[in-house]
Chain A
């Protein structure tokens, strides 16, 4: 069956360290993979998109990698800050799926001061 798995447990890190979040998928062939941030009681906010033919994408302190052989994406936040504390969702766009997104359940990140 098709499945998207993110870090199953919440992730706590110290301020200034690099946070690394994992998104693994099975039985999908995504054309695109996206990462969103969601704060409590709010809707998700788009962060980054990476295409299947791209290995890495960066935006300020954020970096995403995409390994279609391992069926895995890694999401890194460098020099993390308490304000980065949130739930991070990965989402897949499957080619031909009419631009629908399939979401993982998210990883809750807490950056400790």
Chain B
């Protein structure tokens, strides 16, 4: 069982609110990733990080931002939530020298 955690698991929020999705891993992995996944669809990479103070945008354009101040923590923030942000958000980490990604359980976000 991978030691990567996401909170909250489910979130229903109104349009215009600011939200932060939390992701933490206790494996000491350098690389961390955020994906967005709609039901029955592929995962799309929205942000990634290779280590502390390193963040990059992924292939899918996103209005979210991320930070990596500590190795174990990689939060994702939406400054102003919109209904188009309704989706499942998955966090993952990977050990240096490996290609295997460990995923958290995901946060199911609904913006009304």
Binding site for B on A (CB under 8 A): 4, 32, 34, 41-46, 49, 89, 93, 98-106
Contacts and interface: CB of A to CB of B under 8 A. Distances in A.
Given A32-B99, A43-B90, A103 B43 contact: yes
26 contacts: A4-B42, A32-B99, A34-B100, A41-B108, A42-B105, A42-B106, A43-B90, A43-B104, A44-B90, A44-B101, A45-B2, A49-B99, A49-B100, A89-B42, A89-B43, A98-B50, A99-B94, A100-B45, A100-B48, A100-B58, A101-B101, A102-B45, A102-B59, A103-B43, A106-B40, A106-B42
Contacts of A42: 105-106
B103 interface: yes
A43 B99 contact: no
A93 B101 CA distance: 11
B12 interface: no
A99 B99 contact: yes
Contacts of B90: 43-44
